[in-house]
Structure 1
Amino acid sequence: MKLVDLSVRRRVTIAMFTVGILLFGVVSLSRLNISLLPELSYPTLTIRTEYTGAAPAEIENLITKPIEETLGAVRNVNQIRSISRSGTSDVTLEFDWGTDMDYAGLDVREKLDAIRLPLEATRPVLLRFDPTLEPVIRYALFLDSESQEAAEFASLTSDEHSSLKYLRRFADEHIKKELEAGGGVASVKVSGGLEEEIQVLVDQQRLAHLNIPIEQLSSVLRAENINLSGGRLEEGSQHYLVRTLNQFRSVEQIDDVVISSEPGKPVYLRDVARVVQSYKEREAITRIRGQEAVEIAIYKEGDANTVAVARIVETRMQNVNKILPSELKMVKVYDQSTFINQAVDEVVKAGLIGGLLAMIVLFIFLRDVRSTLIISLSIPVSVIATFNLMYSYDITLNIMSLGGIALGIGLLVDNSIVVLENISRHRAQGKSTFMAAKEGAGEVGMAVVASTLTTVAVFFPLVFVQGIAGQLFRDQALTVTFSLLASLLVALTLIPMLASIRKDETDKTPEPVLAEPRTRVGRFLRQIRLFMFNTIPVFIVRVIAGFFRVVGKAVMFFLNPVLNSVNRLYNRVENAYPVILKSALENRVVVLGCAVIIFAGTLFMIPRLGIELIPSLAQGTYNIEFRMPPGTPLSRTDDAIQTIQLAAAADDRIDLAFSVAGSGNRMDANPDQGGENWGEMNVKLKSGYISDHEEATMADMRMALESIPGLQYKFSRPALFSFRTPVEVEISGYELDELKLVSDRIAEKMRASDRFADVKSSMEQGHPEINIYFDREKAAALGLQVHDAANRIVSKIKGDVATKYSWRDQKIDVLVRTREQDRGSVDDIRQLIINPESDKPVTLDAIAEIRSGMGPGEIRRISQQRVAVVTSNINYGDLGSAADEIGSIIGSTPMPGAVQAAISGQNEEMDSAFSSLILALLLAVFLVYLVMASQFESLIHPFVILFTIPLALIGSVWALWITGSTVSVVVFIGLILLAGIVVNNAIVLIDLINQLRDKGMDKAEAILEGAKLRLRPILMTTLTTVLGLLPLSIGFGEGAEIRAPMGITVIGGLLVSTLLTLVVIPVMYAILDRKKFSSATLPATATLPATKGDNV
């Protein structure tokens, strides 16, 4: 090959080119971002609309249905899902993967502008679901109960409310501002504690007596609390700014506002209302280890790096700690960067150990330090060169991209092994070092190119993989491809160049002839050039080579006994192999029959493995999501969570439990989370308690949860891929009663099975409602409008923020509404005066019928049809087995004619992913065949080589079964990678057999001779690949759940395929090959026994 010839002739050029790649690779590495996973862009948009006070049925008819009907025409929409809850509508659009979400968002906004919604409804808000919308860091701020200062502070404050307002104020004024100034921080959300509010509590009886509507109070307060600029005034040479300063400077000034003025009788606000400094109605209560606290959640910008943001926040926290009062304490309850760093470190460690093991294998086989180091150079050079391409393609350092590099560690030396082994063989034939490097590398050049291309080609079909699997494994496919292409370039350039450096007496390397300069200066400059660009580089290379030679001799002195034992073992294998192969060739039918039987048994084992979408990652932390019956006040939800906090505090394995009751400060568009009856607790285990203990503590926590009546709960680990539960049953129909009946039956049967945990139905709990039905005739007779009466009810019960009170840098809401005793019960609502401006006050019950009842807690719709959803986690077993049991439950459940049930959730995503991955696997095999057919210019020889793939499947399936692994998306990616790897040994073997036959050998002799010559490189490449993958396959460390199944798949398949390839492939070649080669010129040393059907 010309590239090989150039490499051995232009050694300095190749050396400088290599140094340049290494230098730029190191620079690129320093600029690569670190993240846990590749950037996952979910093609989902959520439209959230609020309509305060409306029941779920009204929300469905007035908000959800119009939005669904309008947005159904948006392009590339795959499915529309919606949830109508009290006061809130969430419509989620799921787009086809690959949709440009920026254009989709513009299209949705354009259609939303044309929708006619009730005037009282808020403007629809467009939200994007993205896992990055989870906070990257969470802190808890609380009073340090162990400090003396906290005790003194508690003694000075009148009640607990004062300390909670103090915590919230300090977090808002100091911590939030300090952290938001950090680079990469998108937002800092503070929740918990008490937000200050000034409340104007109105006596409706006094208002009615004075004929003053409650709306007038809000209008007057808004008008009185104002500062305005009056322009400029010039008086002589003096210029003045004119300002009207009338904003409230104290609460007492609000009391003194005149709200009505009759001649000589001003009515002050204090006459009809009481102004108090209080706090807003709580939306969330946060606790850490049972103690109430304030949560500070840090969200990163969309393109910011999590690890870099965490470092910046840590720096900013040093400034916070300087101003943090001694009575307060801050604890970090969650830091996403910790797990990322640990997971990435584990992958790097696995790669380094794998590379070291591969070098040990090389040394054992080669027994030469120089040759081992030459081949081993292909690992760092290829990896560092890969960093250049990763930076160009904007790939981050994550467990998938680094996992791709680690997967390729053992593969990176394969090409170099084949090249150097062939160079050594030519050197043993007495050729000079230069000619051995040139001819040896050139002879196998096309074979290593083909073997590399077959491995690279298997990743092209991944572009057809849809969904989460395609996005997740893109980085891994690219990094493996980049590293393998780099290793190919190293094998054809750097390896021959280094192998040709050693000089000997037979070396006839032509020296370049330079024209003799005519002048003395020219001769001097020529000597300088030779010294700088020839003598010095050659001297450095020889010094390094001499150093390695000395080190090699010292190492060999101590290792010779071990190496001799290994060598004797290999010699036995090498001597026995021709005998075994010859016997196999004589009994072809028996060999193929055994292979077919083993393969058939393997196919029978596949259904026993179990299937799942993606293995969950044990991170030493998990979440418990709670939901109390609809209508449960926030305080009751908090009481239930405190019970769980006590159970967590009694568990020695749990480090801390941090809980949020209520909506908290969530920024994401997940419609399932929120409301006063909702809560969440994050449980963090102590260091050293990770995988097994997570499940054990979950089981103990379930026992505590079961003791709380009416509580529904769900366990989950921090979301990485999808927020859908493993098992979901969608029951579709129209009548809510029928949907509730069927969903309750299915949920009851699922709870009866110990396979399912955390079973929850969306129709189990209704929402308590007070329904007000106006009598329009009575209202009209009294001169009242239904619309005005409804608005007045909202103003009196919910209240109206009239203005803002300025205090320091804060803007505090001034809320106007009726007193607690006027709105504390249903009877109080009946007695609400709805026309206080009239001389004849009218109570609400005079013009309306008020009923208490239970409405649906929520109404769900999928594809514009009502559904009930039963969700569940899996207690044991795999997702496929759970789906089969769900199918049996659905089949045995009687349903009304218009009701249907189907399995969805992660099972639906799994089916979609597996379908596209099977297509990708078939396309990968086809591409491998195309590459091999192009190399061999034959259709039969590639077909023979393809038999290595089913042989590899045998090893993969049995390896998964022995290790207890399930078939998942990760395993499929391993199989696709395996399809490109296992053919490499057969390619090199068949290529050598064809070369020997082309030189005149008989087919039988060529098979035996070629197999014998290729035995050592085949075993070397296999063992280096297997040992390179071994650290990835050991299920220890963070992120091992994703790494291990892929490594197990490749190792099992490669080992079994290699052993069978050495026997089965020569047999298949002997049977199927009919190609005519040149006439034999060498005496036959072996004969191939004829079998029935063999005409050669």
Structure 2
Amino acid sequence: MNICKIFIDRPVTTIILTLALVIFGFFAYLALPISALPNVDFPTIVVTANLPGADPETMATSVATPIEKQLSTIAGLNSMNSMSYAGETQITLQFSLDRNIDAAAQDVQSALLAVTRHLPSGMPDPPTIKKVNPADAPVLYLALTANNLPLTTVDNYAENFIAPRLSMIEGVAQVNVYGAQQYAVRINLNPSALTNRGLSIDSVANAIQNLSVNQPTGILQSSGYYRLIKVDAQLSTAKQFGNAIIATQNGAPVRLKDLGIVRNSVANDQAATWYNNKRAIVLAVQRQPGANTVSMVKSILQVLPTLTTDLPGGANLQVVYNNAQFIEDSIKDVQFTLLFAALLVVGIIFLFLNNISSTFIAVLSLPVSIIATFGFMYLFGFNLDNLSLMGLVLAVGFVIDDAVVVLENIMRHVESGMDRLSASLVGSKEIGFTVVAMTLSLVAVFIPVFFMGGIIGRLFYEFAAVVAIAILISGIVSLTLVPMLCSRLISYKSLVREHKQSSFERIFNDCKVFYEQSLRWSLNHGRFVLVIALILFIITIVFFDIVPKGFIPSQDIGLVFGTVEAPEGITFKDFVKEQQMVAAIIAKNPAVDGVISSVGQGAGGVNSNNTGTLVLRLKPLGQRKLSSDEVVQQVQQQVQKIPGLNVFLISPPAIRTGSKSSNSNYQFVLQSTNWQVLQNSAKKLQTALASIKGVQNIDSDLELSNPELKLHVLRDRAAALGITPADIELALYSAYGQRQVASIMTGSGDYDVVLAIDPKYQHSVKDIDAISLRSSSGLLVPLSAVVTEKEGVGPLVINHYGQLPAITLSFNLSPGYSLGKITNQVTTLAKNTLPANVTGSFAGDAQTFQQSMTSLPLLLLSTILVIYMVLAILYEHFIHPITILTALPFAAFGALLALLVFNQELDIFSFIGLIMLVGLTKKNGIIMIDFAIEARREKNLSAKEAIAEACSIRFRPIMMTTMSAIVASLPIALGLGAGGDTRQALGIAVVGGLVFSQLITLYVTPVFYLAMDRLSSKLAKSK
């Protein structure tokens, strides 16, 4: 039965169905959401717990440990790490990719409720949770500055006016505010004033808590109506608090302002942010999963003029960085690449056919297949992103193949004298099975990708689906629309006339004659050809080992992130000077267009006294000579000369897979139950890492030199005075812990009232002796009477990984060094350096890279196996699929050689290129072997005669399809445009593999076919 006959006999039906596909695809294209990459959501939850005044060790043992123990029982938890700083613990939980983030959040909340009774009673608030996605960085940065306004006013507009308005825009997930200067009333007490009036700091704290309250008071009811009872019991300004009476002395009131300074201030005066050297509040906007990034940012930009109009005089709201612009540019560049590739393919087809009507028929399948694919992308909920469009660019090279094969076979019959209707019927019937085999076997390439888990499966699922859909549509079009158009449009006279007039045809015929002669020689010297093939196969295996391995290449999005580490114990004032010095040096770089600089906020948003952050906005690519990676290297050299500071800069990868924060890109985590051994091992390994060539910016999160004042409680003496250790800690907390003693509740939010000793009485160890405690007899006792003091050092931060004490070493790669080589060297070095009771493993991107290097070869092998099974089923033969797949090693050889020559890494993009080559290169084998089998069956030819005739007759479609695939991949291989550097390796691998496999397999496949035929004959005779 000839299915094509149905469509040849019904041209109107065929045209209408085709138009329906195109119209549906066109309108679906307009509705597709736009993003940089497919939605890859890593279910991650961050738990934050605060205990102001607690040291890192207390936070780790009293807060982090019990919470971690409870959280570890949650199903689907892949990793858990915590950072405990002074007063704050942050625990990051990363779940398996198939875990629903909302369900996981409920489990986390339940676990926190269960552990609450085991946490310190002094925690002002219960632990909070926040759902995050490490792969989803902010898409828009805004800076709010003001020349003549208090920062608290600027912050109020940012947090209570701008952020809520932006959060309501469709697609916005959250708006993070950096450099927040939230209003607070600060009470800075004078120890001498307290002592002179016989007051302890705790008594003042208790008095303030009772002075300002906001509690329900009830309803006064009567027979006819009721009244709400409202008491004016809350103080709301610094002046009101200052005038409040704390106590009476000899009948005279003691007001709070008599004991120190009461002023309007900010909740955290040890943190600040600048944009281009001007104090600012920075807002970072993150999108919801699946949201149209470009549309969302456009909506925000439309709202900004209205927001700016409503700002107070002197305030200025400006866009610092717009990632949607890069995404839009990148998408436009890929769309141009798609169009350019299509034009190149059209040119190649016209060169070979040299006939306008024939070229039109072949080329028509291209827009139909591509546009119709958009419709199915919309149905399946896919995005219009770089990977899906890149898949379509590559698809341009082979969606036309089926149409070319059908068209060429029909043209061959027309040229032999058959009328076009009969030629269309006969030609389509002859080639129908070949087209089905080519289509199904090419789709089979992507079946393993659909079932692959992890980051690679998530990242390339849409890519594989889009290509598979385009291939299926092209197969259908080639068996329906193409034969129908051939039966109406092809002319015998024009074919013969134009072929005779074509210069390209004469050159092609000369090449064909040369190929036929060289093929005969190869068939007569089969052993020599097979030996050469075996040598190339061995070299290919060697190439797999020596080609540099990478993971996800960095992408020049015009943004660079940085971290500044100052010496432990540095004062806020001194650190601000150092940070501003670094920002000023960076701002002078000609490639830098703007700098966001923050102090007092470390990795993951945790407050850190010695850590600052940097966000560098680079000039557009056309306005700078250096790539973002080169800018990083240049700036790194400029700032590393500053004494006492460590500056780390990274150009962010296209996607980040790890949830653990560090100053450099790649992480190696050490764990042990013995803290002292762990410290020594980490220091030893960090020193050893410096000996590895290609490793730079080595950093450790081990910080043990934070100055501490250790107080030893004289328990007997304290007990005799009726003073408990809890009394001592509470007094110190009130004096130096930034204690929140009250809240000011307003319609726009709650504001803190913060109590502390005046900073001018916090300069030396002697100042602490001025703190007094009240004994059981009511007398004031100086703190020095019940404690002894000793200066020392302690940890600035304590980290846990998987509930065990952990130290993370992080590093970057020097230009020209591959991640695969470095990870192998680090693993070997760790085995030779670490003792038995210390374990070491990679985390984050380095860990995902190692996992991918294990799974990708399995993916390649499973792809080959699936294709073999599909071909075996189609041909009902065990040997023919092996013959068809003989091109694969040579495609791999060409791809790996191209990567080496052009200094590219074998990363996940180029590896996907290898997998695509499995489908592309086996097409030639199908065209040759299928025709040879048919020739032996119909003409009773020998195997040698059949394969020689098949190669000769099918030489034109083989060359056409391969050249189409090559020129379609060339624009990607050139790596032009925004984001082109990320996808370049894939294009180079595909082009290199196709070129080399085309040259070799035209000879190896026929020779291998003969060898397999002889083997089959011998096996048959032996039976």
Q: TM-score, normalised by structure 2?
A: 0.92
Cα distance in 2 between the residues matched to 1:406 and 1:114: 53
Deviation per CA, 1:1048-1072, whole angstroms, max 9, x where unpaired? 1122112221222221111111121
Deviation per CA, 1:6-40, whole angstroms, max 9, x where unpaired? 21112111211112112221221122111111111
Bigger shift: residues 715-724 or 490-499: 715-724
Cα distance in 1 between the residues matched to 2:134 and 2:669: 24
Cα distance in 2 between the residues matched to 1:84 and 1:243: 42
Matching residue's letter, 1:721: R
Deviation, 1:336, is 1.5
Q: Does 1:333 align with 2:336?
A: no
Cα distance in 1 between the residues matched to 2:219 and 2:269: 42
Q: Does 1:910 align with 2:817?
A: no
Deviation per CA, 1:451-500, whole angstroms, max 9, x where unpaired? 11111111111245332212111111111111111111111111112222
- Equivalent residue, structure 2, for 1:851: 790
Matching residue's letter, 1:583: W
Q: Does 1:1072 align with 2:1007?
A: no
Q: Does 1:1033 align with 2:966?
A: no
Deviation per CA, 1:859-908, whole angstroms, max 9, x where unpaired? 33334433332211011311122224334544664x55534545555343
- Equivalent residue, structure 2, for 1:494: 481
1:357-436 equivalences in 2 (<5 Å): 357-436=344-423
Q: Does 1:294 align with 2:281?
A: yes
Distance 1:280 1:112, change over 3 A: closer
Kept in 1, the 8 Å contact 2:52–2:737? The answer is no
Cα distance in 2 between the residues matched to 1:863 and 1:837: 46
- Equivalent residue, structure 1, for 2:50: 50
Distance 1:690 1:1011, change over 3 A: farther
Cα distance in 2 between the residues matched to 1:1009 and 1:191: 72
Cα distance in 1 between the residues matched to 2:185 and 2:491: 95
Bigger shift: residues 688-697 or 414-423: 688-697
Query: Tell me, what secondary structure is at the counterpart of 1:120?
Result: coil
Cα distance in 2 between the residues matched to 1:4 and 1:246: 88
Query: Tell me, what secondary structure is at the counterpart of 1:722?
Result: coil
Cα distance in 1 between the residues matched to 2:468 and 2:922: 16
Kept in 2, the 8 Å contact 1:167–1:193? The answer is no
Deviation per CA, 1:596-626, whole angstroms, max 9, x where unpaired? 2223233333333211112111223211112
Cα distance in 1 between the residues matched to 2:1021 and 2:665: 55
Bigger shift: residues 195-204 or 431-440: 195-204
Kept in 2, the 8 Å contact 1:85–1:857? The answer is yes
Deviation, 1:385, is 1.3
Correspondent of 2:567 among 616, 629, 639 = 629
- Equivalent residue, structure 2, for 1:679: 612
Deviation per CA, 1:963-995, whole angstroms, max 9, x where unpaired? 111111112211111111211111111111111
Kept in 1, the 8 Å contact 2:52–2:87? The answer is yes
- Equivalent residue, structure 1, for 2:5: 5
Distance 1:169 1:112, change over 3 A: closer
1:893-932 equivalences in 2 (<5 Å): 893=833, 895-896=834-835, 898-902=837-841, 906-932=845-871
- Equivalent residue, structure 2, for 1:346: 333
Cα distance in 1 between the residues matched to 2:83 and 2:34: 37
Cα distance in 1 between the residues matched to 2:167 and 2:948: 72
What is the CA RMSD across the aligned residues, in angstroms?
Answer: 3.3
Kept in 2, the 8 Å contact 1:454–1:931? The answer is yes
Deviation, 1:840, is 1.3
1:805-820 equivalences in 2 (<5 Å): 805=744, 812-820=751-759
Kept in 1, the 8 Å contact 2:308–2:316? The answer is no
Cα distance in 2 between the residues matched to 1:246 and 1:908: 57
Deviation, 1:1015, is 0.3
Kept in 2, the 8 Å contact 1:624–1:715? The answer is yes
- Equivalent residue, structure 2, for 1:732: 671
Correspondent of 2:632 among 688, 698, 704 = 698
Query: Tell me, what secondary structure is at the counterpart of 1:710?
Result: coil
- Equivalent residue, structure 1, for 2:874: 935
Deviation per CA, 1:651-689, whole angstroms, max 9, x where unpaired? 22222222122228xxxxx65864122112122222225
Q: Does 1:119 align with 2:121?
A: yes
Deviation, 1:230, is 6.7
Deviation per CA, 1:486-530, whole angstroms, max 9, x where unpaired? 111111111112222249999xxxxxxxxxxxxxxxxxxxxxxxx
Query: Tell me, what secondary structure is at the counterpart of 2:928?
Result: helix
Distance 1:693 1:1025, change over 3 A: closer
Matching residue's letter, 1:24: F
Distance 1:797 1:681, change over 3 A: same
Q: TM-score, normalised by structure 1?
A: 0.86
Matching residue's letter, 1:41: D
Correspondent of 1:1019 among 952, 959, 964 = 959
Cα distance in 2 between the residues matched to 1:691 and 1:607: 34
Kept in 1, the 8 Å contact 2:179–2:273? The answer is yes
Query: Tell me, what secondary structure is at the counterpart of 2:81?
Result: strand
- Equivalent residue, structure 2, for 1:1087: none
Query: Which runs of no fewer than 5 residues in structure 1 stay unpaired?
Result: 144-149, 154-161, 507-548, 665-669, 1078-1090
Correspondent of 1:605 among 537, 543, 546 = 543
Matching residue's letter, 2:595: A
Cα distance in 1 between the residues matched to 2:396 and 2:111: 52
Cα distance in 2 between the residues matched to 1:596 and 1:79: 45
Kept in 2, the 8 Å contact 1:830–1:850? The answer is no
Distance 1:599 1:689, change over 3 A: farther
- Equivalent residue, structure 2, for 1:583: 521
Query: Tell me, what secondary structure is at the counterpart of 1:75?
Result: coil
Deviation per CA, 1:1015-1042, whole angstroms, max 9, x where unpaired? 0000000011111111111122222233
Query: Tell me, what secondary structure is at the counterpart of 1:413?
Result: helix
Bigger shift: residues 325-334 or 655-664: 325-334
Percent identical residues: 28
Matching residue's letter, 1:686: K
- Equivalent residue, structure 2, for 1:643: 581
Select the structure of larger CA radius of gyration: 1
Cα distance in 1 between the residues matched to 2:245 and 2:638: 56
Distance 1:992 1:57, change over 3 A: same
Distance 1:294 1:991, change over 3 A: same
Cα distance in 2 between the residues matched to 1:928 and 1:881: 32
Deviation per CA, 1:234-261, whole angstroms, max 9, x where unpaired? 899x997765445547654433333346
- Equivalent residue, structure 2, for 1:535: none
Deviation per CA, 1:777-808, whole angstroms, max 9, x where unpaired? 22221122322332232122234434445789
Query: Tell me, what secondary structure is at the counterpart of 1:1073?
Result: helix
Bigger shift: residues 897-906 or 1004-1013: 897-906
Kept in 1, the 8 Å contact 2:53–2:736? The answer is no
- Equivalent residue, structure 2, for 1:448: 435
- Equivalent residue, structure 2, for 1:711: 645
Kept in 1, the 8 Å contact 2:39–2:290? The answer is no
Query: Tell me, what secondary structure is at the counterpart of 1:861?
Result: strand
Kept in 2, the 8 Å contact 1:956–1:1052? The answer is yes
Deviation, 1:79, is 3.9
Cα distance in 2 between the residues matched to 1:988 and 1:163: 76
Deviation per CA, 1:1069-1093, whole angstroms, max 9, x where unpaired? 112126999xxxxxxxxxxxxx999
Query: Which runs of no fewer than 5 residues in structure 2 stay unpaired?
Result: none
Kept in 1, the 8 Å contact 2:183–2:264? The answer is yes
